[in-house]
Amino acid sequence: MPFDFWGIIVVPLLIFFARICDVSIGTVRIIFVSKGYRYLAPLLGFFEVFIWLMAITRILENLDRWYYYLAYCGGFATGNFIGIILEERIAIGYAAVRVISRIPADELIKQLKDAGYGVTFHTDFKLRTALIELGGTRVPQLWLGAIASLLGDDERIAALRRDLSGLLRRAEVAAFERRAQELLDRGTYPELHQWHGRPFEW
């Protein structure tokens, strides 16, 4: 029986490279969709599906050839890798920049919008407890000493209350003091609640 060069070598390679092409195109297409390229994204989607159909048809016609599956999966993995490289080269993905300004940023927001950048901003200044992956771990002794010094100084506490009263409600200021005292008493960061994530209750 002659060696089936086409079926054993050529077709798996075609499937492999077809998957590389359609997955790479799919990666770029998703980026185009997110950036609002309403004409180019559908065009890429057409070729993406067309190439995929050609590859999957070959597999369905030869279900007994396990090496076709390897070529299909290998092409998919490689296509993802190449798609990421393409995205980095053409540099059209999203980049998020977070800016915390101590002064009104109206002019900065206007300039960014005029330049065509998407801007999300929040002007309701509030202090919130943000604990990320620190629950249950020890608070540095230096910080505990600073908290103890603050809570034991009536003048500093009174000044802090006045400063916070312009930013927070009275109940929030009181909650802030309770949280500081609890942190000092425990010596560890509070663990986040498994449902709503708040380490403290009002």
pLDDT tens, residue by residue, 167-182 = 888 888 888 888 888 8
Full domain range(s) for residue 83? 5-90
44: in domain: yes
Q: What is the pTM of this model?
A: 0.46
pLDDT digits (tens, 9 = 90+) for 75-104: 999 988 888 888 777 766 556 777 776 677
The residue among 200, 165, 166 whose CA lies nearest residue 183 is: 200
pLDDT digits (tens, 9 = 90+) for 144-167: 888 888 888 888 888 888 888 888
Same domain flag for 70 and 141: no
Q: What is the dihedral of CA 163, 169, 172, 176, to 10 degrees?
A: 10
Same domain flag for 200 and 137: yes
49: in domain: yes
Same domain flag for 136 and 81: no
At residue 127, the pLDDT reads 40
159: in domain: yes
Among 69, 90, 111, which residue terminates a domain?
90
What are the CA-CA distances from residue 125 to residues 22, 152, 164 (Å)? 47, 27, 11
At residue 92, the pLDDT reads 62
Number of domains in the chain: 2
